[in-house]
A and B are shown apart, each in its own frame.
Chain A
């Protein structure tokens, strides 16, 4: 990636999305090999796509070209293209750039006419698409002394900021709960780029009093954002964005229900992408992505179609921590090789009582958004005692009829590793299904290479 251009990364993504749409336009192109190999596919590409094509993970290309994956791959490409166009428009208009931590949505920032960018999204999308993932960003921040043994969730974006290939922040928003690496990284970004950091406390308890406390902190966050943006929060504008956010949330919750079907109708590689689009809830792109995923899964249920190869027995997997973004094809491999479907994880699961935001008044909307953030995956599990995380996954394993629980987590995620045995024991005892514990990073493939992940999975599934 060339240094010094704040739109370099997003424009590279845009080319990737255009390239994906171009390739998906060839209906009879269902894999690189079937077309005669990588070089043969390269031949049909317009010149402007070729450099980008060489950067893309070849097995990702094969994954999205599979008939079962094409519809959502197209929706993903369209939606991300539109989001990038929106970002570019807002940068042209010199709107204030608000970087936010992932367990929240965009409506308030949009209503204040700011440009919301999720800090964690930039590394995640790059990790998912390119052969070298987001390693350039990770290596850059590590060369500044950031420890290599910590989770990479924020590393890449911090590196990209130093490289100057993403927009600089005007403000940073961060929920303050016990994830030390992210807390420190946001502080670092605030100091380095001279942007105010608005932290809002997540309560430790999960009750009415705690929720009221959260509503108060969100209101204080709004006051600060109003000062920074120079705009007052307009009820009508907020309602407009909240309605769009509700559309996305409604589809997301319906998709979750569909994943309870046996066989699971929703391909595993969607889970990291679902997380990416949940971070954009409030934007129309999130609504259109989740609508496409929902319709894709619903059609499959209606037709009785399966996402795993014929003759394979489905192994229904719940993931107690998270996916990895660096190999979406790995999740496709799980389905194709082992018949292993991906039900939920702590980055995708919204409890059913999350519900929609009541748009009656400004107060109901602020409360509704605060409630959604209260329920947000990982916010919900990490802000409090272990019981929420443990109970959620016992319930998930029962309701989604899981055959096993995968507990792959980053060793530096102290919260997860402190409770993962409790979680494993509870699931074994109350649901009676086996569990697998292993280490991985979510963005950096060098931590646990795909070949090693596959070896771990082969051993585990052979045991099942």
Chain B
């Protein structure tokens, strides 16, 4: 009998759905978390399922994590985000010992053991300085697409120095640099560097252990990853799946483990 399950990670910025079939990812989707999330999530799940040819009635287990779990009306087990990120990262990179997740509004560093069990974590859930939302605010202020920021940063000639780690003050500082006539590439390089540096302080408080794996939307920003690598002095691996779906994979794995108990 085929084991088909689902993992959901409903974050403040993005909703991620993963369909797991016989221990592999059969399909997934990432969308913005919208108004009336309860209806939007269900519609989105159906859309992801339709791409895989699997129907909702085939789903034998469902795990959900993240801020918006409360909006999911399907039968599901509620899973700890830290556990999901650990399990998901370990599943995609079995040598992972440090997981760095940077999402829409929060960032997390987790130290995991050889089995993918979280041993300690540090959260930054009250400050947007290392989060995706900060990068989005900067992109909007500079009239760039979010995905342009990373590559543009790498083309910078002289990175500006960002004095503020705060997202609110940071945005003002970006505008000041624009008014001072600084190149956009130099400005975004300064921003991505400060985000990477902010994440590195979170990781260093835990202790850097190889392998380091980065997950979440911010992991798609090559310049942030590079800055993080420079600061912690080790390579940061990005999962071969979309880095945003690692939490959802973990949610599915956690729910599947409950079936086995």
Contact = CB atoms under 8 A, between A and B. Distances in A.
A432 B207 CA distance: 16
Contact of B118 (A421, A424, A432, A434): A434
Interface string A329-365: 0000000000000000000000000000000000000
A463 B113 contact: no
Contacts of A463: 80, 82-83, 118, 121
Nearest to B111: A428
A154 interface: no
Interface string A419-439: 001001100100011111100
A435 B80 CA distance: 16
A423 to B, nearest CB: 11
A424 B118 CA distance: 13
A459 interface: yes
Contacts, number: 31
Contacts of B207: 421, 425
B21 interface: no
B117 A434 contact: yes
Contacts of A462: 79-80, 82-83
A433 to B, nearest CB: 8
Interface string A442-464: 00000000000000000100110
Interface residues of B, number: 15
Contacts of B118: 434, 463
B144 interface: no
B119 A434 contact: yes
Contacts of B111: 428
Question: For chain A, which range describes its interface: under 10, 10 to 19, 20 to 34, or 35 or more residues?
Answer: 10 to 19
A434 B120 contact: yes
A425 B120 CA distance: 9
A424 B120 contact: yes
A307 B207 CA distance: 36
Given A425-B207, A428-B111, A459 B120 contact: no
Interface string B73-88: 0000001101100000
B113 A432 contact: yes
Nearest to B123: A459
Interface string B55-86: 00000000000000000000000011011000
A428 B119 contact: yes
Nearest to A456: B123
B228 to A, nearest CB: 20
A459 B80 contact: yes
A436 B206 CA distance: 11
A436 B79 CA distance: 18
Interface string B103-145: 0000000010100011111110000000000000000000000
Contacts of A425: 207
Contacts of B120: 424, 428, 434-437
A462 B65 CA distance: 11
A116 B82 CA distance: 49
Nearest to A407: B120
A433 B120 CA distance: 9
A434 B110 CA distance: 11
B119 A459 contact: no
A321 to B, nearest CB: 15
22 contacts: A421-B207, A425-B207, A428-B111, A428-B113, A428-B119, A428-B120, A432-B113, A433-B119, A434-B117, A434-B118, A435-B119, A435-B120, A437-B122, A459-B80, A459-B82, A459-B123, A462-B80, A462-B82, A463-B80, A463-B82, A463-B83, A463-B118
Interface of B: 79-80, 82-83, 111, 113, 117-123, 205, 207
Given A425-B207, A428-B111, A462-B83, 20 more contacts: A421-B207, A428-B113, A428-B119, A428-B120, A432-B113, A434-B117, A434-B118, A434-B120, A435-B119, A435-B120, A436-B120, A437-B120, A437-B122, A459-B123, A462-B79, A462-B82, A463-B82, A463-B83, A463-B118, A463-B121
